Structure 1
Amino acid sequence: MQLVVGRIGRAHGIKGEVTIEVRTDEPELRLGPGARLATDPASTGPLTIESGRVHSGRLLLRFEGVRDRNAAEALRGTLLIAEVDPEKLPEDEDEFYDHQLMDLDVVTADGTEVGRITEISHLPSQDLFIVERPDGSEVMIPFVEEIVTEIDLEEQKAVIDPPPGLIDDRAEIASARDAGEESA
């Protein structure tokens, strides 16, 4: 199974290094020296990581054969794709690979359908589920224990306990507000 583990950003310096938008919880495993990665677009790869380092909180990588700023800049926007054994699971039972979470149905604790996970965004402070609602709109759900209360891979669902306003439609909020004003 192939997973997107990073996206190449801008060139850094003049010797071929690039910034990396990390899209994996295991960058030391997936983005270490010697790792050979497929790319999207495929015409730019595969790429083999020659070296890596962290600078000012950003991961910088240098790929074999990329020796100058122009070559590095030509890679900007390229997705880095690692081959992962779909049967391999993270060591911690509360950790999941992105491919395990993709396409899970998202429901509230009372069973109300929210939508389906279409993307997982790895931000510095937390991960977010991008959930496509039945009407085609999207909602972002922070992947934190207080909100995502259960991941059931057998049932293919994520159960959430959202705080007020996280997934409520504006019409539902207005309706609830209006009902509250009438009873006051």
Structure 2
Amino acid sequence: MGRLLKAHGLKGAIKLEIYTDSPEQRFTPGAEIKLQVPEESSWFGKTIIVKELRMYNSSPVLFIEGIESREDAEGLIRAILLIDQPLDELPQEPEAWFDHQLTGLKVFRDSIEVGFIDRVEHKPAQDLLAITTENGEVLLPFLKIFVPKVDVDSGIVEITPPGGLFEQLESPANED
């Protein structure tokens, strides 16, 4: 869901890098969140409870129950925030998927399989699908115009990439 970046102020707040598309749903007061930290950390194997998520100068800042000072907050810096989620659960928004649901799907262009989705990269402008092909990796903007169909149940994604992004595929009619 996110990563804790650095202490903010003196009262235990922590700047947050958000990975989820629905922070208002995930970081509600009382939400319990798992931590991914090194085994040596005193926080290893523990969870945190969200007190509040606020925006300061367009940056998300997380307040956590029991973290009341800058020193307490600094013990959580670089922690990754995780939640348990059923693998078959879909996001609430239509036409939205979790990364793990897209990873591994076969990618088709003009009814020809061109590769599979290796991962989703989240960039400021838009998300990118990292597609592994015979000729290496291609990053395709995850936009409806380029990815008109995602069928998680069938395990396929249909793409219509812009010219030059993928090598030209020979059509079946041109084969000897």
Q: Does the TM-score normalized on the shorter chain lie above 0.5? A: yes
In the superposition, the TM-score normalised over structure 2's length comes to 0.78
Cα distance in structure 2, aligned partners of 1:157 and 1:56: 41
Aligned 8 A contact 1:23 1:121 in 2? no
Aligned residue type for 2:80: L
Correspondence for 1:126:
126
SS at match of 1:100: helix
Aligned residue type for 2:126: Q
Q: What is the RMSD of the two structures over their aligned residues, measured on CA atoms?
A: 2.4
Correspondence for 1:116:
117
Cα distance in structure 2, aligned partners of 1:86 and 1:67: 35
Cα distance in structure 2, aligned partners of 1:57 and 1:75: 22
Q: Per-residue deviation at 1:39? A: 1.5
Correspondence for 1:79:
80
Structure 1 residue 99 and structure 2 residue 100: aligned? yes
SS at match of 1:28: helix
Q: Assess, with a 3 A threshold, how the Cα gap between structure 1 residues 89 and 165 changes in structure 2: closer, same or farther.
A: same
Give unpaired runs (5+ residues) of structure 2.
Answer: 39-43, 169-176
Q: Assess, with a 3 A threshold, how the Cα gap between structure 1 residues 138 and 73 changes in structure 2: closer, same or farther.
A: farther
Correspondence for 1:158:
157
Give unpaired runs (5+ residues) of structure 1.
Answer: 173-184
Correspondence for 1:62:
63
User: Which one has the bigger helix percentage?
Assistant: 1
Q: How many residues align?
A: 163
Aligned residue type for 2:96: E
In the superposition, the TM-score normalised over structure 1's length comes to 0.75
Aligned 8 A contact 1:116 1:133 in 2? no
Cα distance in structure 2, aligned partners of 1:7 and 1:25: 14
Correspondence for 1:142:
141
Correspondence for 1:40:
36
SS at match of 1:72: helix
Q: Per-residue deviation at 1:68? A: 2.4
Q: Assess, with a 3 A threshold, how the Cα gap between structure 1 residues 140 and 31 changes in structure 2: closer, same or farther.
A: farther
Structure 1 residue 88 and structure 2 residue 89: aligned? yes
Cα distance in structure 2, aligned partners of 1:82 and 1:54: 22
Cα distance in structure 2, aligned partners of 1:109 and 1:22: 36
Aligned residue type for 1:104: L
Q: Per-residue deviation at 1:69? A: 2.4
The Cα offsets for residues 55-100 of structure 1, whole Å up to 9 and x where unpaired, read as 2222110112222223323322221111223343334441222332
Aligned 8 A contact 1:19 1:58 in 2? yes
